[in-house]
Amino acid sequence: MREVSYFAPTEVGEAVKLLAQHGEKAAVLAGGTDLVAQLNYYEIKPSALVYLGGLDLDYVREEGGKLVIGAGTTIAHLLTDDLIAQKFSVLAEAAATHGSPAIRTKATIGGNLGTASPAGDMIPALMVMDADLVLASSKGQRTVPIQEFFTGPGETVRTAEELILEIHVPLLKGKAVFKKLGRRKAQVCSIVSTAVRLEMDGGVCKDARIVLGSMAPTPLRCSKAEAMLKGKAVDAALVAECAAQAVAESTPIDDQRATAWYRAKAGTALVARALAEVAGI
Partner 1 sequence: MKQILSFILNGSPVDVIVTPTETLLDVLREKLGVTGPKRGCDDGDCGTCTVLLDGEPVRSCLTIALTVAGREVLTVEGLSTDGDLHPLQKAFHEHGAFQCGFCTPGMLMSAKALLDHNPTPSRTEIREYMSGNLCRCGSYEEIIEAIQVVAAGEYAPSGGKE
Partner 2 sequence: MTEYVGKAMPRYDGIGQVKGQTKFVDDFVLPGMLYAKALRSPVHRGLIRGIDFTAAKNTPGVVGVVTADDIPGAKRFGACGDQPVLADEFTAYLGEEIALVVAVDEDTCMEGIEKIKLDIEEQQPVFDMFEAMKPDAPLVRPDLKSNLWDYGSGMTTRVMYIGDVEQGFAEADLIVEGRYQTGEQDHSAMEPMVSVAYFDEAERLVIHTHSQCLYFQLGQLAAIFNLPMSRIRYVGGVVGGGFGGKNHIHADHLAGLAAIKFKRPVKYRYSRREDLLYSTKRGVFILEYKTGIKKDGRLTANHIKLWHDSGAYGGFSPYGVEKCSMFASGPYHIPNTRIDGQCVLTNKAGSSSMRGFTIMNGQFPMEMQMSKIADTIGMDPWELRFINAWRDGDIGASRYVVRGAGALEAMRGAAEVHGIELPEHLLAMSSRGR
* Element containing residue 266 per DSSP (H, E): helix 260-279
Query: For partner 1, which is the closer residue by CB, 52 or 258?
Result: 52
Selected binder of partner 2 within 6, 42, 44, 185 (CB under 8 A): 42
Judge whether 263 and 183 are in contact, CB under 8 Å. no
Does the footprint of partner 2 cover residue 6 (CB under 8 A)? no
| Positions in the binding site for partner 1 (CB under 8 A) | 1-6, 8, 29, 31-33, 36-37, 39-41, 49, 51, 53, 76, 99-103, 105-106, 185-187
Residue 280's CB: how many other CB atoms inside 10 A?
A: 10
Q: What angle do CA 114, 190, 96 make, to 5 degrees?
A: 80
Could you tell me the smallest distance in angstroms from the CB atom of residue 184 to partner 1? 8
Does the footprint of partner 2 cover residue 185 (CB under 8 A)? no
Query: For partner 1, which is the closer residue by CB, 40 or 256?
Result: 40
Residue 99 near which of partner 2, partner 1, none (CB within 5-8 Å, type-dependent): partner 1
Judge whether 162 and 135 are in contact, CB under 8 Å. yes
Query: For partner 1, which is the closer residue by CB, 3 or 63?
Result: 3
Could you tell me the smallest distance in angstroms from the CB atom of residue 2 to partner 2? 5
What is the b/e burial string over 221-255, where b = at least 16 CB atoms within 10 angstroms of the residue's CB?
A: bbeebbebbeeeebeeebbbebbbbbbebbebeee
